[in-house]
Chains A and B, each alone.
Chain A
């Protein structure tokens, strides 16, 4: 039987942490922003369009750098033509999520201002699926930290549009959430935040008091504008399971 410790430990060799919020680092999704700004374009647009209802906390576990190992795994665990590859990567990414939440869910709850998250859910895919999404399997079946609290709270709503845009009705909650003080929302990859933040809007709209998002990988394209500078800086920070983006300090974690 696979253990979280064995499967997650090798990730320390190649995961790259996101940088702490700063000028040039988005304070929401932690990607590279223009040096004169503290939010990236997408998160700034989202904040301007939706003053209320966005996620209270966003916590990416690591950068999913385009054409590097984590980004590769986050695509192939869903889409590889080889079922054994999908199965192995699902287990590994499950271990990554469990390891992270096991050590840092309390930090995320603190950041959201709640003692704990009573319910855990996932961001549904925006296209019709016939059955269980691999992420649902990870959160609802594999990860001991979440499986007892997992509930598929979201379904596709009426709103369409490309996934990089934020839409209030892309998702709808499957039940009223007035009795839910806090929901932990999991997604595999944050690219623009359109899907995850649309899901947060739906949860808040249904009555959830607090919504925190954990994403395994923050999609990152080194070739885009100032991203290479950010990447080189992030590479100097050692990834450790003992720290998360909500508490990381570059001063004491430099390799």
Chain B
């Protein structure tokens, strides 16, 4: 059968234009120029930097500025803060300005705003200011809301949250975790309470059921103790059961933990873990991708699982039924290209036996096995410049 002349599909997939990127040597010179301008006390603007290096975009210049600021940043804090010492991450020069934060927050609060679109817009423009400017004016008109009002309210809220130790970072911020940038479900902003630590790039998410068995709790405790002893940060939710066991044991062993929660960061869910959450803000980090005040919902925990998978280098599943969030996180991690460790006892479940056959899944017995696997994964994700077949 021949192809008919008239085709009914005149607007096939939208085109994707190329964009200007950069050459290493030009990049290096631009980064150096920016650093010199900072040292001289008059930092170059994006526009100025772009114009200095020929036919480049402001987005390109923005990237160079971020790289320059990264180079100038103080090293990661390697020592755990002393118990009781409140240790907010230092505010770096290259965080969003308060105006940018307020505009972004106001945008996210607008009705019917799709957050994944916000992420894409931020990345596409490479600038909070540019991405928010159009969105706020257009939607302000649409909903008859004066942009200035909600931006001012957002600024006041940010101020109030900051007094409580809560910061907001965007996907364009230098502090936004690299691991999380690499997955498609990265949220546009994160709310943080506590310290970001470079060691988190090699962290492990420990997940499991709320209705844990004594054996499951023992496994979680043994694993958390072993990981803490090896300096591996433990990432988990803040639910009862496995999550709580992982956090409390790792903290007791002097380790670092990060709690990724499914509500606004100023809420504790379940309420009985409020004290634990507070302790983690002091000794580690609490992360939420939701607006402060957001209640738990049916969809928020799966979304949280995606972020937990993205934040960690790998996920360990301790004890999980077919319908559990822990199994869901294993599935998400594999979709993200992340490694999954399954405790051997899980093989009693059909789903776990199926997962154990998949690439990127290792069945383990103890923390030592997980640690060995992590070493191999860390070597893979290191910035090696050569690729070999095997």
Give A46 Cβ to nearest chain B Cβ, in Å. Answer: 11
> Does B389 contact A102, Cβ atoms closer than 8 Å?
yes
Q: Which of B21, B66, B178 contacts A134 (CB 8 A)?
A: B21
Known: A40-B9, A44-B3. A219 touches B387 (CB 8 A): no
Chain B: CB-nearest residue to A69 = B184
Q: Contacts of B379 on A, CB cut-off 8 Å?
A: 2
Q: Contacts of A216 on B, CB cut-off 8 Å?
A: none
Q: Enumerate B64-79 residues with CB–CB distance to A below 8 Å.
A: 66-67
> Does A95 contact B387, Cβ atoms closer than 8 Å?
yes
Q: Contacts of B13 on A, CB cut-off 8 Å?
A: 31, 42, 191-192, 219-221, 224
Q: Enumerate B1-46 residues with CB–CB distance to A below 8 Å.
A: 1, 3-5, 7-26
Interface-located stretch among A52-60, A84-92, A200-208, A243-251: A84-92
A91 vs B381: C-alpha distance when bound (angstroms): 9
Known: A81-B63, A82-B178, A164-B15. A10 touches B334 (CB 8 A): yes
Q: Contacts of A219 on B, CB cut-off 8 Å?
A: 13, 16
Q: Which of A13, A45, A128 contacts B360 (CB 8 A)?
A: A13
Known: A14-B334, A40-B9. A79 touches B19 (CB 8 A): yes
Q: Enumerate A171-217 residues with CB–CB distance to B below 8 Å.
A: 189, 191-192, 194-195
A134 vs B388: C-alpha distance when bound (angstroms): 18
Interface-located stretch among B145-153, B297-305, B335-343: B335-343
B183 at the interface (CB under 8 A from A): yes
A33 at the interface (CB under 8 A from B): yes
The total of chain B residues at the interface (CB under 8 A) is: 60
A118 at the interface (CB under 8 A from B): no
Q: Contacts of A220 on B, CB cut-off 8 Å?
A: 13
- Taking residues whose C-beta sits less than 8 angstroms from the other chain, chain A's interface range is 35 or more
Chain B: CB-nearest residue to A7 = B380
Q: Which of A33, A39, A71, A133 contacts B184 (CB 8 A)?
A: A71
> Does B22 contact A131, Cβ atoms closer than 8 Å?
yes
Q: Which of B3, B7, B337 contacts A92 (CB 8 A)?
A: B337
A7-21 CB mask vs B (1 if < 8 Å, else 0) is: 101111110000000
Q: Contacts of B182 on A, CB cut-off 8 Å?
A: 72-73, 76, 85, 88-89
Q: Contacts of B325 on A, CB cut-off 8 Å?
A: none
B163 at the interface (CB under 8 A from A): no
A158 at the interface (CB under 8 A from B): no
Number of A-B contacts (CB under 8 A): 189
> Does B181 contact A76, Cβ atoms closer than 8 Å?
yes
Q: Contacts of B380 on A, CB cut-off 8 Å?
A: 2, 6-7
A100 at the interface (CB under 8 A from B): no
Q: Enumerate B136-180 residues with CB–CB distance to A below 8 Å.
A: 172, 176, 178
B386 at the interface (CB under 8 A from A): yes
Give B9 Cβ to nearest chain A Cβ, in Å. Answer: 4
Known: A82-B181, A84-B178, A191-B14. A41 touches B9 (CB 8 A): yes
A91 vs B386: C-alpha distance when bound (angstroms): 8
A61-89 CB mask vs B (1 if < 8 Å, else 0) is: 00000011101110010111111110111
Chain B: CB-nearest residue to A191 = B16
Give A15 Cβ to nearest chain B Cβ, in Å. Answer: 10
Chain B: CB-nearest residue to A218 = B13
B273 at the interface (CB under 8 A from A): no
Chain B: CB-nearest residue to A83 = B67
Q: Which of A10, A34, A45, A92 contacts B8 (CB 8 A)?
A: A34
A163 vs B17: C-alpha distance when bound (angstroms): 6
A83 vs B178: C-alpha distance when bound (angstroms): 9
B82-94 CB mask vs A (1 if < 8 Å, else 0) is: 0000000000000
A224 vs B9: C-alpha distance when bound (angstroms): 10
B348 at the interface (CB under 8 A from A): no
A126 vs B338: C-alpha distance when bound (angstroms): 34
A10 vs B359: C-alpha distance when bound (angstroms): 6
Q: Contacts of B181 on A, CB cut-off 8 Å?
A: 76, 80, 82, 85
> Does A128 contact B21, Cβ atoms closer than 8 Å?
no
A113 at the interface (CB under 8 A from B): no
> Does A133 contact B336, Cβ atoms closer than 8 Å?
no
Give B152 Cβ to nearest chain A Cβ, in Å. Answer: 28
Could you tell me which B residues sit within 8 Å of A by CB distance? 1, 3-5, 7-26, 54-55, 62-63, 66-67, 116, 123, 126, 172, 176, 178, 181-184, 334-339, 358-360, 376, 379-381, 383-384, 386-390
A-B contact pairs, 24 of them (CB 8 A): A2-B387, A2-B388, A10-B339, A10-B360, A11-B337, A14-B336, A34-B8, A48-B5, A72-B183, A82-B178, A85-B182, A88-B178, A125-B20, A126-B17, A131-B22, A131-B24, A131-B25, A133-B21, A134-B21, A142-B387, A143-B387, A192-B13, A221-B13, A225-B9
Could you tell me which A residues sit within 8 Å of B by CB distance? 1-7, 9-14, 31, 33-34, 36-42, 44-45, 47-48, 67-69, 71-73, 76, 78-85, 87-89, 91-92, 94-95, 98, 102, 125-134, 142-144, 162-164, 189, 191-192, 194-195, 219-221, 224-225
